[in-house]
Amino acid sequence: MWLYLVALVGLWTLLRFFRERQVVSHLQDKHVFITGCDSGFGNLLARQLDRRGIRVLAACLTEKGAEELRSKTSDRLETVILDVTKTESIVAATQWVKERVGNRGLWGLVNNAGISIPLGPSQWMNKQNFASMLDVNLLGMIEVTLSMLPLVRKARGRVVNVSSIMGRVSFGGGGYCISKYGVEAFSDSLRRELSYFGVKVAIIEPGFFLTGMVNSARLSSNTQMLWDQTSSEIREIYGKKYLASYLKNLNELDQRCNKDLSVVTDCMEHALTACHPRTRYSAGWDAKLFYLPLSYMPTFLVDALLYWTSMKPEKAL
């Protein structure tokens, strides 16, 4: 009995290994549009795909970011300025992409643009703090996707959405986890809807990586600003010990993050170039061995684990 089970698992593993290494043909003729290419995952992916000969259309927030990217890539790569929170910017970028892809359509759309601040306990924030996060990480991604979908559908291509392990397990305040849970939900519904048109949708769920978004000094400064803007009542409830401990954790974040961004961009590249891409990619050992299993545990166990390992307000002690 056990021998048959081992043989079945082995056969399934070999089949999956073979399927995942089948590559789409004529990649050099395909266009991929990537948002958030000023730095981090988007910047590295743009350079990675360019080296592979794919026609990259890179969207940057700033002209400086676009210039720096062009200086490190071939003439095939083209850049456009895009602010995903502005409808007119998205419409202009979509027209720009349409002029370049023509009747071939857009093979790949990578929704990578995102922000990580404001970061802090939810009670330190107001509605606008949540809205500013959702505008970029979720609503901007949705609007870019809807605008580009006719081009992707024409090519029967791919949509790759960058989520996070914090879209699986919520253990921080503010809008970041909310936005990433939204990315997961939107991607799942979109995948099922677009399967009728031959379009595949993949979700990238990175663990903690050292990118421009994860910058200890910037995160700490933002959190301190939130603290300074809260009411005296909230500051008294949480206490200075809580703030000091929170800032200490942020300042140590750089040491705990994975510096090898290619772990994530390799997942993105596979989602764009494999004949049989995965539905989800958990990038990083922390995502695979801790956060992903945690997301399947009973809620009361997750709550207890995070409660005893998290910081607590002084008045609650």
Please state, in angstroms and rounded to a whole number, the distance separating the CA atoms of residues 148 and 111: 11
SS3 of 34, please? Answer: strand
Structure tokens at 1: 């009995």
Cα separations in angstroms, 108 against 111, 202, 251: 10, 11, 36
- Phi, psi torsion values for 168, nearest 5 degrees: -105, -45
- 176 part of the active site: yes
- Please report, as a single letter, which amino acid is at residue 216: S
Provide Rg for the chain, Cα atoms.
21
- Please report, as a single letter, which amino acid is at residue 151: L
Question: Dihedral through CA 224, CA 228, CA 232, CA 234, nearest 10?
Answer: -40
CA 95 to chain centre: 24
Q: Which residues contact 33 (CB under 8 A, 6 or more apart)?
A: 57, 58, 59, 97, 106, 108, 109, 110, 148
Decide: 30 and 250 in contact? Cβ < 8 Å: no
Structure tokens at 98: 């349409």
Catalytic residue among 176, 242, 246, 281: 176
Q: Which residues are catalytic?
A: 176
